[in-house]
Chain A
Amino acid sequence: MAKKAKRQNIIYHIATFILGIIMIYPLLWMISSSFKENADIFTTMGTLIPPKFTVENYIEGWKGFGNVSFATFFKNSFIVAGIGTIGTVISSAIVAYGFARIPFKGKDLWFTAMMITLMLPFQVQIIPQYIMFNTLNWINTFYPLIVPKFFGSAFFIFLIIQFIRGLPLELDESAEIDGAGRIGIFWWIILPLIKPALITASLFSFYWTWDDFLGPLLYLNQATLYTVSLALKNFADPTTITNWGAVFAMSVLSLMPVLLIFIFFQKYLTEGIATTGMKG
């Protein structure tokens, strides 16, 4: 009996270990390739230890294109992703409260309309959107990437709605009896309770904006405005010489900010603010 339990335990650990390796193997591979010499990357695909260790890829990659280095691209990405995230999360939370808690005329219609906007493939919206932003004279600025974010994103609105609907209604009611209005309830009662949802939304929003390259590709023309995701794509071209080492080196670097932000914020996810004092 004890033997069997022990064997199960070993099997469990081996399984977890293999799963863990599979989860991060691609990242390890990327990091290892970023320290390999260019000519070795494709000839030693299977090995994680560089035959000849070099940091040249980081130096060459960081230089970017012409006189524009990755310092500029990182700065741009931080501006776009940072401001965009603040805008998305705040506006989405406000709109979500309206949909989740207030019974008003036409609510179902607008909610359906919002869900429909999520279902139309972006590929057919590219050209009308471009024409629209071109008419506004916003091409070659950050506006097309940032401004729409301040009007809420359907995905995050729906996400936060579902979280608010999971909160007991008595909270609102007792606050209302105390004389609080809708705005007061939203600000004092709901907002603190949906902190895990807001943090989740912020993480996603930041990462998705950071990772998005289609928007920057279409709307930014000058290299001084390029974001990291777009710059990364500019390294690789199937028909000409590609500095793969630099691609991997800069990919690793571009991962760092998102990873750090994740590690920093995930501890707020675990605190479980929402659990205290509810139903009490």
Chain B
Amino acid sequence: MHKWVSGILVLLMCLTVFSTILPAQEKISLRVAWWGSQDRHNRTLKAIELFEKKYPNIKIYPEYTAWNDYWTKLNTQAAGKNLPDVIQHDYAYLSEWATRGLVLPLDEYISKGIIDLSSVAENQISPGKIGGKVYGINLGTNSLGMLYDPELFKKAGIPFPKVGWTWNDFREIATRLKNKLGIYGAEAITKADAQVFKVWLMSHGYWLYSEDGKSIGYKDDKLFVDWFNLLLDLQSKGAIPSIETDIARGTLGVEDMFIVTQKSAMGLLWSNQIVAVSKAAKERPLRFALMPRAPIPNAKPANYLKASQFFSVTSQSKHPKEAAMFIDFFTNSLEANKVLLAERGVPISSKIQKSLLPFLGSSQREMFNFVSLAEKNSLPIPPPDPPGATDVVNNVWNPIVEQILYGRITPDKAAVEFRDKVTKILQQR
């Protein structure tokens, strides 16, 4: 009997000792979600391994999917109040999430230095700001550019696009390329979101939305009409693929773009996509030109620096501090960035940018050069899209673009309809 009691006592003591030790060893777990393809998954997973090695008390549970599925899943998780701690975010949705309090402002962690942005320029931070607070840390800087094939330009005897070229120059060059080589001058100009039109407006000194996000940002519908007359003109000349051709191709990815197969001499792309395009084009040299400016005197630049994507911390996270540490690691660790290799765009830290240079391939170097050229010739980042912007793009912009290019409606009529419908949506919100 005696032995029994002492035995139990010893056991209890052991348990208390263990239980006081155990919490110290207990790992903090973070769920991290992103979208991408196999290449990005593998790079990110390797960077996560490095993070776990550096912080052995933090365990990362990665959740990765492709772009479309990512948002279906994330929205469902948001509704179910089961969001991951760190999520990759997109410019199109960040403001919707921030205004609903689903992602945390990170200013506290930035000022404490947990997220160290000392070697990051302000124009690389501002894309993630909403209402003056930082809701997302830029994972790579991007700018829209006109990718061109120098070889085809030489073959046609046409000089390369210069800084400050306008849409009129573009029209002439694209048409000449078409006539000389019998291929498309350019592709992806009619991209299925309002991105290119926005840049067109920007160079005129306007933006698609007003500052309060309650109405359209330009007064004169001539801007809308001119833009589509330009596209219709290029389409009828065969200088860009017809809408029929573009729709039939669908959006498989950068791999089946005409610029890859040399059926087009130019193509509109985000700067980070050059890596994928060059790889698909068997590393044939391709170059980036800045976006053409408005065909008016004193036109403004038509480029701005955008975040390819963000990391944000969700408000449902139980460990926001550790989540911030994770984001910091992605931003500032050279080791991690050597693995990630600017796959998400040019890293925002100038230190990392410099130390990464020797490791870059030729297409990545072109991307770095282009982004720094764009930085010198860019306007400040426009305000984030107002709530309702996705509705505008999906249900008004895209259908109207199709109707114009299929010749079902004239640009003049479309301009009025566009203004009516967009105003209605924006004022409802």
Where the two chains meet, the residues of A that have a C-beta atom closer than 8 Å to any C-beta of B are 38-39, 41-43, 65-67, 126-127, 130-131, 134, 139, 213-214, 217-218, 221-223, 230, 233-244, 246
Closest to B61 in A: A222
- The residue from B41, B67, B251, B256 contacting A65, defined by CB atoms under 8 A apart: B41
- The residue from A139, A234, A246 contacting B82, defined by CB atoms under 8 A apart: A139
Contact of B69 with A233 in the complex, beta carbons under 8 Å: yes
- The residue from B45, B80, B251, B252 contacting A127, defined by CB atoms under 8 A apart: B80
Contact of A65 with B64 in the complex, beta carbons under 8 Å: yes
Q: Can you pick out 5 interface pairs between chain A and chain B where the beta carbons lie within 8 Å of each other?
A: A39-B279, A66-B41, A238-B67, A240-B253, A242-B255
Q: Which residues of A contact B69 (CB under 8 A)?
A: 213, 217, 233
- Complex CA–CA separation, A234 to B40 (angstroms): 10
CB distance from A145 to the nearest CB of B (A): 15
Q: Which residues of A contact B275 (CB under 8 A)?
A: 241
- The residue from B45, B66, B72, B81 contacting A236, defined by CB atoms under 8 A apart: B66
Q: Which residues of B contact A246 (CB under 8 A)?
A: 38
Q: Which residues of A contact B40 (CB under 8 A)?
A: 237, 240-241
CB distance from B93 to the nearest CB of A (A): 15
- Complex CA–CA separation, A143 to B371 (angstroms): 48
Contact of B253 with A237 in the complex, beta carbons under 8 Å: yes
Q: Which residues of B contact A65 (CB under 8 A)?
A: 38, 41-42, 45, 64
Q: How many B residues face the partner with a CB closer than 8 A?
A: 45
- Complex CA–CA separation, A244 to B280 (angstroms): 10
Q: A233-B65, A234-B65, A239-B273 are in contact. Are A42 and B256 (CB under 8 A)?
A: yes
Contact of A234 with B66 in the complex, beta carbons under 8 Å: yes
CB distance from B73 to the nearest CB of A (A): 6
> 6 extra interchain contacts, Cβ-Cβ under 8 A, other than A127-B76, A139-B82, A244-B253?
A65-B64, A66-B46, A234-B66, A237-B40, A239-B254, A240-B37
CB distance from A194 to the nearest CB of B (A): 38
Contact of A42 with B39 in the complex, beta carbons under 8 Å: no
Q: Which residues of B contact A39 (CB under 8 A)?
A: 279-282
| Chain B positions 188 through 199: 1 when the CB is less than 8 Å from some CB of chain A, otherwise 0 | 000000000000
Which residues of chain B from 14 to 60 have any CB-CB distance to chain A below 8 Å in the complex?
31, 35-42, 45-46
- Complex CA–CA separation, A223 to B48 (angstroms): 14
CB distance from A43 to the nearest CB of B (A): 6
Which residues of chain B from 268 to 289 have any CB-CB distance to chain A below 8 Å in the complex?
270, 273, 275-276, 279-282
Contact of B82 with A238 in the complex, beta carbons under 8 Å: no
Most buried by B among A233, A240, A243: A240
Q: Which residues of A contact B82 (CB under 8 A)?
A: 130, 134, 139
Q: A42-B255, A238-B251, A241-B276 are in contact. Are A131 and B79 (CB under 8 A)?
A: yes
Contact of A237 with B280 in the complex, beta carbons under 8 Å: no
- Complex CA–CA separation, A127 to B64 (angstroms): 20
- Does chain A have a CB within 8 A of B187? no
Q: A42-B256, A42-B261, A221-B61 are in contact. Are A234 and B31 (CB under 8 A)?
A: no
Contact of B41 with A221 in the complex, beta carbons under 8 Å: no
Contact of A234 with B41 in the complex, beta carbons under 8 Å: yes
Q: Which residues of B contact A126 (CB under 8 A)?
A: 72, 76
Most buried by A among B45, B61, B76: B76
- The residue from A42, A66, A222, A236 contacting B280, defined by CB atoms under 8 A apart: A42
Closest to A140 in B: B61
Contact of A239 with B76 in the complex, beta carbons under 8 Å: no
- Does chain A have a CB within 8 A of B98? no
Q: A239-B273, A240-B343 are in contact. Are A217 and B39 (CB under 8 A)?
A: no
Q: A39-B280, A42-B255, A240-B37 are in contact. Are A130 and B80 (CB under 8 A)?
A: yes
Q: Which residues of B contact A66 (CB under 8 A)?
A: 41-42, 45-46, 62
Which 5 residue pairs are nearest across A and B when measured between Cβ atoms?
A: A66-B45, A237-B37, A241-B276, A65-B41, A42-B256
Q: A233-B65, A240-B39, A246-B38 are in contact. Are A131 and B45 (CB under 8 A)?
A: no
Q: A42-B260, A66-B46, A134-B82 are in contact. Are A243 and B65 (CB under 8 A)?
A: no
Contact of A240 with B260 in the complex, beta carbons under 8 Å: no
- Does chain A have a CB within 8 A of B63? yes
Closest to B65 in A: A234
Closest to A134 in B: B80
- Complex CA–CA separation, A144 to B72 (angstroms): 17
- Complex CA–CA separation, A239 to B72 (angstroms): 17
Closest to A43 in B: B261
Closest to A233 in B: B66
CB distance from A253 to the nearest CB of B (A): 15
CB distance from A161 to the nearest CB of B (A): 33
Contact of A239 with B41 in the complex, beta carbons under 8 Å: no
Contact of B280 with A243 in the complex, beta carbons under 8 Å: no
CB distance from B394 to the nearest CB of A (A): 15
- Complex CA–CA separation, A131 to B81 (angstroms): 8
Contact of A234 with B37 in the complex, beta carbons under 8 Å: yes
- Complex CA–CA separation, A230 to B256 (angstroms): 23
